[in-house]
A and B are shown apart, each in its own frame.
Chain A
């Protein structure tokens, strides 16, 4: 498998429940990103990992959101006490760094619906 893989592809949850999403990046990519995209908008940056270190977080990432990348491989994004406003597509991307940034490759996304 040479692409970015995300699981699950779709998630429907009741308001107040916790959800966790998984991302498996391209194996040789040390940089991993989480984005959120709502209908008609561009992807909004949430957080960035370089290997296992979380180096940047957006102001969009409230304290209900947490992301991890243990061992610098796969990553998880957890949303606690979900709200209807969390309904969106959550995209994961990875890229390599060869002295300079290269292009980012995106997974298929996890579509979250909070009811």
Chain B
């Protein structure tokens, strides 16, 4: 059974600080997806990482993928309050059909 594990599950950080969210998965998938969810809202696609060594950046967020280690990271630089949300990583199942999600990292950025 495919496992997608994120850590930490909860993160409270001060504005201006840096931090990294980790996503480990158990298959040999070579692509990984990051999503953001605001409270009471649906999921918004942030990044699609397509191959080993892929790195994508958008504003204060940067995502990377190491398929050999089966690890993706989401790095937050100089956090601001607007980044407060829950972040999910997701991986395709072996069949290529299901998209399996981690439990999410709930991020709170405080002044």
Contact = CB atoms under 8 A, between A and B. Distances in A.
Contact of A42 (B48, B88, B93, B96): B88
Given A91-B43, A101-B31, A104-B33, A56 B104 contact: no
A33 to B, nearest CB: 7
Q: Say whether chain B's binding surface is mostly helix, strand, loop, or mixed.
A: strand
Interface residues of A, number: 26
A109 B31 contact: no
A80 interface: no
Interface string B90-101: 101101111111
Interface string B33-50: 101000001111100100
B43 A106 contact: yes
Interface string A39-68: 011111100101000011010000000000
A42 B104 contact: yes
B103 interface: yes
A91 B41 CA distance: 11
Contacts, number: 57
B102 A45 contact: no
B50 to A, nearest CB: 8
Contacts of A44: 101
Contacts of B33: 103-104
Interface of A: 33, 35, 40-45, 48, 50, 55-56, 58, 91, 93, 95, 100-109
Interface of B: 4, 31, 33, 35, 41-45, 48, 88, 90, 92-93, 95-104, 106
